[in-house]
Amino acid sequence: MSLAMSLLRPHRRLSLHKQIPTMTQISTITGPALPLTGNDIDTDRIIPARFLKSITFDGLGDHAFEDDRQQMNGAHPFDQPQYQSARILVVNRNFGCGSSREHAPQAIARWGIQTLIGESFAEIFFGNCVAMGVPCVVAESEAVRQLQAAIAANPEQPFTLDLSAMTVTYGDTVIPVTMGDGPRQMFLHGTWDACGQLVAQSQEIQATAARLPYVAWA
């Protein structure tokens, strides 16, 4: 089953407590996109530390990019009316660097984003997104800039990420994208939430532990 996305997204208020789907095969995601330009955007900017003072991820969607948005006084893409139904976030270089806080991709996902396209992603951020079922794909710098310009020119236009073909398509334009084969297979086979698979190997895990000398020292 592919996760075919409707162009209509519930109103933001309704999405706050939306459960992120688990164990679903993810092959295509279609919807309007949002361009967020800038290199080295760190996870402190995505979700400032004061919003980490909670024992749940609830409500984080409201605070995605909180400080950047306040400083831009309504001009931040996450505040601009034409992007309020966006499902695809298009970013530049080294997005999500810094702190390992999963609160950052949780905030972005709870705002309504289901996939990211960028020039490059920081590794821990990328891994957090995989574990949440949010694919991050990489495109050439020029292609990313072209995508961001196309979105700005026509924010209503739907874009489609296809993880089987490894393309992003809009209108007649097709852009090749890449992702490591391991994560890609996890999305295509619906195993991006690895927890069950990992736990199922308990005998092999015990055997590995038994081979490690330090396990016996402790």
Partner 1 sequence: MSHGTLFDKVWDLHTVGTLPSGQTQLFIGLHLIHEVTSPQAFAMLRERDLSVMFPQRTVATVDHIVPTENQARPFIDSLAEQMIQELEANCKSNDIRFYNIGSGNQGIVHVIAPEQGLTQPGMTIACGDSHTSTHGAFGAIAFGIGTSQVRDVLASQTLALAKLKVRRIEVNGDLLPGVYAKDVILHIIRTLGVKGGVGYAYEFAGTTFDAMTMEERMTVCNMSIEGGARCGYVNPDATTYEYLKGRDFSPSGDAWDEAITWWDSLVSDADAEYDDVAVFDANEIEPTVTWGITPGQGVWVSEAIPVAASLPESDRVVAEEAYSYMGLDPGTPIKGTKIDVCFIGSCTNGRISDLREAAKVAEGRKVAGGIKAFVVPGSERVKQQAEAEGLDTIFEAAGFEWRQAGCSMCLAMNPDKLQGRQISASSSNRNFKGRQGSSSGRTLLMSPAMVAAAAVTGSVTDVRELL
Q: Is 94 in the site for partner 1 (CB under 8 A)?
A: yes
What is the closest distance, in whole angstroms, from the C-beta atom of residue 109 to partner 1 in the complex? 12
Distances from the Cα of 123 to the Cα of 118, 120, 129, 144, angstroms: 13, 9, 10, 19
**Does residue 185 touch partner 1 according to CB under 8 A?**
yes
We find the least distance from the C-beta atom of residue 55 to partner 1, in angstroms, to be 4
Total binding residues for partner 1 by CB under 8 A?
A: 66
In the complex with partner 1, the residue whose CB is nearer, 4 or 49, is 49
Pick the piece of the chain touching partner 1 (CB under 8 A) from 3-11, 49-57, 74-82, 154-162. 49-57
- Return the residue of 1, 8, 53, 172 that touches partner 1, per CB under 8 A: 53
Query: What DSSP state is assigned to residue 50?
Result: G
Report the distance separating Cα 134 and Cα 207, nearest Å.
Answer: 33
Closest residue by Cα to residue 88 from 191, 168, 185, 27 = 168
What separation in angstroms does the CA of 188 have from each of 52, 87, 99, 146, 166?
32, 19, 28, 27, 11
- Residue 178, classed as helix, strand or coil, is strand
Residue 119 tokens, joined: 């020039």
Dist. CA 96–CA 42, nearest whole Å: 5
Site stretch for partner 1 (CB under 8 A), options 10-18, 40-48, 79-87, 108-116 = 40-48
Instruction: Please give the residues from 113 up to 142 whose contact with partner 1 meets the rule CB under 8 A.
Output: 120-124, 127-128, 131-132
Dig out the tokens for 41 from the structure.
Answer: 């955007």
- Nearer to partner 1 by Cβ, of 6 and 206: the residue is 206
CA distance 131 to 109: 12
Choosing from 4, 7, 23, 49, the residue that interacts with partner 1 (CB under 8 A) is: 49
Task: Name the residue nearer to partner 1 (CB basis): 176 or 180.
Answer: 180
Token code pair at residue 137: 């794909």
Of 37-45, 73-81, 146-154, 162-170, which part binds partner 1 (CB under 8 A)? 37-45
Nearest Cα to Cα of residue 136 among 151, 150, 158, 120:
120
Q: Which residues bind partner 1 (CB under 8 A)?
A: 38-40, 42, 44-45, 48-50, 52-57, 67-68, 70-71, 93-94, 97-103, 105, 120-124, 127-128, 131-132, 180-183, 185-186, 189, 191, 193-195, 197-199, 201-202, 204-205, 208-209, 211-218
